[in-house]
Amino acid sequence: MKKLTFILLFLASLSMNACSSNAGANDGTPGNTDGQVVKLTAESFRQLVWDYKKNPQEWVFKGDQPVIIDFYADWCRPCKMVGPIMEELSKEYKGKVRIYKVNTDEQRELAGLFQVNSIPAMLFVPKTGKPQMSVGAQQKPAYVDMIKNVLMVK
């Protein structure tokens, strides 16, 4: 009986550790987020990207680096394929491009604001100029091309 109890406790502790692996993930709070994909809420979006309530008619980018915003949902298979690519790009372009993600099920206001009807959808936001939307899952080279041709142009 003691062995069974020990085994059950051991398995329970393993499953708790596995479930808590995202404990250090960034939850969208402002700060130094270079090299990480950051989950945005409507409030953090207004702080870090564009305050659409203060400037509803004019795009006024608030960031200091170009941005990619990944509109996704947890149930979306193509979104799950794109997620690791965004993680890689976030590390590769650390200090040059920030990558954010927006859960469309949780942040319906943001999804509606950008008329996101199909996911995954990526919003490429250069430091100057207007953002551009790309819809559908792409391979990593396509995202690298967008970074070079949309975000890194002077």
Nearest CA to 119 out of 79, 154, 90 is that of 79
Residue of 79, 86, 97, 125 marked catalytic: 79
pTM value is: 0.78
Can 19 be counted among the known catalytic residues?
Answer: no
Q: Which residues of 40-64 are buried (b: 16+ CB within 10 A; e: fewer)?
A: bbbebbbebbbebeeeeeeeebeee
| pLDDT, tens only, 51-87 | 999 999 999 999 999 999 999 999 999 999 999 999 9
C-alpha–C-alpha distance, residues 99 and 36, integer Å: 7
Name which CATH class applies to 32-151: alpha beta
- Is it true that the peptide bond before 66 is cis, omega within 30 degrees of 0? no
Residue of 40, 49, 76, 89 marked catalytic: 76
Q: Which long-range contacts (CB under 8 A, 24 or more apart) does 20-23 make?
A: none
List, for the chain, all residue ranges whose pLDDT scores fall below the cut of 70.
Answer: 1-33
Sketch the domain layout of the chain as residue ranges. Answer: 32-151
